[in-house]
Amino acid sequence: MDAPILVSIYIFVLAIFIGIEVITKVPPLLHTPLMSGSNAISGITLVGSLISAGAGHNAISTILATVAVTFATINVVGGFMVTDRMLEMFKQEKKDKKEGDK
């Protein structure tokens, strides 16, 4: 294997381990407030994967970048859907409180 491919695989594996450690250390109470931040990070991932997919270095990198585009898109859309549902729940609570005050 070429040295750049080994370095890329090494960085990828390290990113997986760091990501798992970071996610598991976040308490469940903080997951909701961090949703918009994670959506922004997923958006950055989507842009990077689009750039990688369009670079056309070789077939493997194009395929992996296309898979990354797919997963990042699913993550962004799913994150916005969950955030929208959470915001709707808060709106419902405000309506209930106003009706209870009357």
In a domain, 82, yes or no: yes
Distance CA 85, CA 102 (A): 26
Q: What is the DSSP letter of 31?
A: T
**Which amino acid, one-letter code, is at 23?**
I
Q: Which residues contact 64 (CB under 8 A, 6 or more apart)?
A: 52
**pLDDT at residue 34 in the model:** 67
Tokens coding 100:
């209870």
**pLDDT at residue 93 in the model:** 59
In a domain, 21, yes or no: no
Distance CA 50, CA 27 (A): 32
Distance CA 82, CA 5 (A): 36
Per the structure, the complete domain to which residue 77 belongs is given by: 34-94
In this predicted model, which residue has the larger pLDDT, 27 or 12?
12
Report how many domains make up the chain: 1
**pLDDT at residue 94 in the model:** 59
In a domain, 61, yes or no: yes
